[in-house]
Amino acid sequence: MNNKGQITLEYMLIFFMSIIIITTVVLPFLCDEIDTVDDIKTTMQTKAMLNELSSNINMVYSSEYGTSKNIAIKTPSRLNLSYTQNGSRNYISTYITLNNNSRRWVGVEVPCSISFANKPNYRYTVVKNNWWYYNTEVKWIKSDDGSMSININFK
């Protein structure tokens, strides 16, 4: 009887020691992977939001001057959206801060000049973290100098 209890105790000791070893070895790797998955998720959600904006910009751009469209859009994180031009290409873009404090550029190409907040000269805007903008307006506007752009107004 005594020997059987000792064997059970030895097996339990081996089991708990192996659990401790596995936990100390595997857990740090698992935490790094969770951060990586979170970074990928945020990047993909931001890219999807920018693609949705780009799709609506294309729709308004292909219509005549004065066209506007209201959309609902959810921001995955706090973003500084900006319009940039590289040669003949136009982009809406933002930088995402990853878990290791590095920054990653995420952008989509758009067919024309973009402005924000109903002001033809505003080329950037800040949107809140995890916020629904139910009446985001995408519309053609004309500046004082006669140049036209598509304006995005987050409301």
| pLDDT of 60 higher than 80 | yes
- Check residues 6 and 55 and name the one with the higher pLDDT: 55
| Average pLDDT over all residues of the chain | 88
pLDDT interval class at 2 (50, 70, 90)? low
* pTM (predicted TM-score): 0.77
Q: Beta-carbon neighbour count of residue 29 at 10 Å?
A: 9
Q: Give the mean pLDDT of 18-45.
A: 86
pLDDT at res. 94: 95
What pLDDT digit, counting tens, does each position of 95-115 carry? Answer: 999 989 999 999 999 999 999
Give the chain's domain count: 1
What pLDDT digit, counting tens, does each position of 9-25 carry? Answer: 888 899 999 999 888 88
Which domain does 114 fall in, by range?
Answer: 2-153
What pLDDT digit, counting tens, does each position of 63-89 carry? Answer: 888 899 999 998 888 899 999 999 999
